[in-house]
Chains A and B, each alone.
Chain A
């Protein structure tokens, strides 16, 4: 069965430090992969997506992610975190053979220390 795992429930980083949020997926075909961000009390906003091609993808707000097929991973990175990045982050797999349904990970809550 398809699944997405985000091993870290909560991460705290200092402002200006680098960030990496982990995501592993299980899917029998080439996945469509997404990272979404949710600020408190808000809906979800797309940060970036991977469909094919270059395995390093750039997104909004200075985020990037790298698809590693051999590790079934799609980790999110940012070189220097800002206080406004504090939010919850969700990784998702799009099932292209099932009408584009999304399977989400459990989410990682990011706190930023001043």
Chain B
């Protein structure tokens, strides 16, 4: 089992460009989340999903969109990238009955 996979590992964007960060899991977990990690701020929740077709906002949702059409995939979209979105992005999953989250390896995004 691969667990939680994220692509790409690294990405450089220009301001105003769009892109999608991919997250996939083969653990059959209901819950999936996106976090961003910035120095001195820990990890902050962007969006999360409690199952296919159901998403909700976290602490810092502005500038990001998500959708969940399957259990396995939970892509994060940046419609118009800004330098403030330069960060490391982590996807995580967990079962509904357990709050132990499993994290992907992360995507390092730089917006110039």
Contacts and interface: CB of A to CB of B under 8 A. Distances in A.
Interface of A: 4, 6, 9, 32, 34, 36, 42-46, 49, 51, 90, 92, 94, 96, 99-107
B61 to A, nearest CB: 13
User: Interface on chain A toward B: helix, strand, loop, or mixed SS?
Assistant: strand
B74 interface: no
Contact of B50 (A4, A32, A99, A105): A99
Given A32-B99, A106-B40, A106-B41, A42 B48 contact: no
B101 A99 contact: no
Interface string B43-54: 111001010000
Interface of B: 31, 33, 35, 40-45, 48, 50, 56, 58, 90, 92, 94, 96, 98-106
27 contacts: A4-B42, A32-B99, A34-B99, A36-B103, A42-B105, A42-B106, A43-B90, A43-B105, A45-B103, A46-B102, A90-B43, A94-B99, A99-B48, A99-B50, A99-B56, A100-B31, A100-B94, A100-B96, A100-B101, A101-B33, A101-B45, A101-B58, A102-B92, A102-B99, A103-B45, A105-B42, A106-B41
